[in-house]
Amino acid sequence: MNKNLFKNILLSFSTLFILIFLSEILLRFFYKPLNSGWGWDDSPRRNLSNFKNDFPNQLGLRGQNINYTNEDFVILILGDSQVEAATSSPNKMPEILLENYLSEISKKSVKVFSLAAAGWGQDQQLLTLEKYFENFRADLVLIWSTPKNDFWENTFPDRNVGKIAGHLKPTFKLVNNNLDGPFFTSNSYYKNSVFLQLVYSAIQNYKNQTIEQLVLDNWNYDLPESHNLSEIKKIKSFEVDLNEYSQNILQYKDSSQITILTHENFIEGRSHFTPYLIPKSKRDIYSIDITKKLIEKIDQLSNKNHAKLLVIYPIRDDFDIVSKKCVKFVKSYYFPENYFEVNLNFAEVLKQKVHSENLFMFKINGGDEICIDFKDRHLNDLGNDQVMKNVGEYISNKFFK
């Protein structure tokens, strides 16, 4: 009797395993897997461009067609929305401005291509650079760093500044000071199984949540500790909403002791204020460490493919000068009694993750006139032209002489 029961149980489990295995194979033909990452066609800023000749390059990113000769000096610009430059016409993108400027002052044949999309961190830049080197070459790789965004973007598997999970992206973990991953690459299945993805999706739908939220919640378990709310500070300080401050930032240049009120989840390290709180949490330090490691990996990959690396950062009056001088505290709308001290010295923290020989920081002049508008403080054509002239002169002096 027991022997027959054992056989029946074994047969049932075997049948179930075979059915799950067959379901996994069949579902991969019909079920759309998790959508991870994005290029130009699904960029968060794609709708800002209405140019008829606005086509992606061979890697699906905004920019001119990747085409060069053996005589060309080839430069890549890795970055995010500033490199993508959605509001600029294709012939005014940073890649074209730099290409034209270098060709003019150096009298060399130069080609510049963009590997960037809005909201990218160095994780997606690294993976795209790997794809690029499978078919193309480069002499110089530029990273247009955005220390206001890069650290927290490199820390999480999604992109959002709140508790609710945003769109998933391919990313890495830092384990024993080594990069582990990538996780959630494009068209990969959750737990590498479409069957499990369907099961988890059903459970999350029952909870009125998304599978992206499940991914984020599980990811957070492996991250170092974030800030806590145990210490309550009461500060006398001028308080202003983050959006109000951002739109009128230059009007606050003579202010002091400003406290920014925000809905961003800076307490858990998902914010433009990461990792600038004082003191830094273990998670803040982690965000610096993983960003440093990603840039080192980009450097190694570039050198392996016979290219030099240069990280560039334009120091601006609004973000760098005014914010560093005036913004001293930040607090959440959700915890209005808790003031957190900040030091928005983007350039100083950037120095911690990039070797000085690979870093070029420079001042650009101008306020609102070099921005798209008061609600969108991305650099416009005038601002981009300033940046690329500075970069062009530096490249010409360092690499062409």
Whole-prediction pTM value? 0.91
Average pLDDT of the segment spanning 260-286: 95
- Rounded to whole angstroms, the Cα distance separating 401 from 396 reads 7
Strand partners, 111: 74
- Tens digit of each residue's pLDDT (9 = 90 or more) over 70-100: 999 999 999 999 999 999 999 999 999 999 9
Confidence of residue 401 (pLDDT cuts 50, 70, 90): confident
State the burial class of residue 344 (Cβ atoms within 10 Å of its Cβ: 0-12, 13-18, 19+): buried
Q: What is the DSSP string of 325-371?
A: HHEEEEEETTSTT--EEE---HHHHHHTTS-GGGEEEEE---SGGGE
Contact 116, 61 (CB under 8 A): yes
178-183 vs 171-175, strand pairing mode: antiparallel
Average pLDDT of the segment spanning 321-339: 92
Tokens 């999706």 identify what position? 201
Q: What is the DSSP code (8-state) at residue 321? A: I
Tokens encoding 152: 């927290």
Is the per-residue pLDDT at 228 higher than 80? yes
Q: Is the dihedral of CA 146, 147, 151, 156 positive or negative?
A: negative
Closest to 47 in 3D by CA, of 386, 398, 376, 388: 376
Q: What is the average pLDDT value for the chain, to the nearest integer? A: 91
- Tens digit of each residue's pLDDT (9 = 90 or more) over 199-218: 777 777 767 778 889 899 99
pLDDT of residue 251: 92
Compute the 3-state secondary structure of the chain and give helix, strand, coil in percent, each to the nearest 5. Answer: 45, 20, 35
Average pLDDT of the segment spanning 108-129: 96
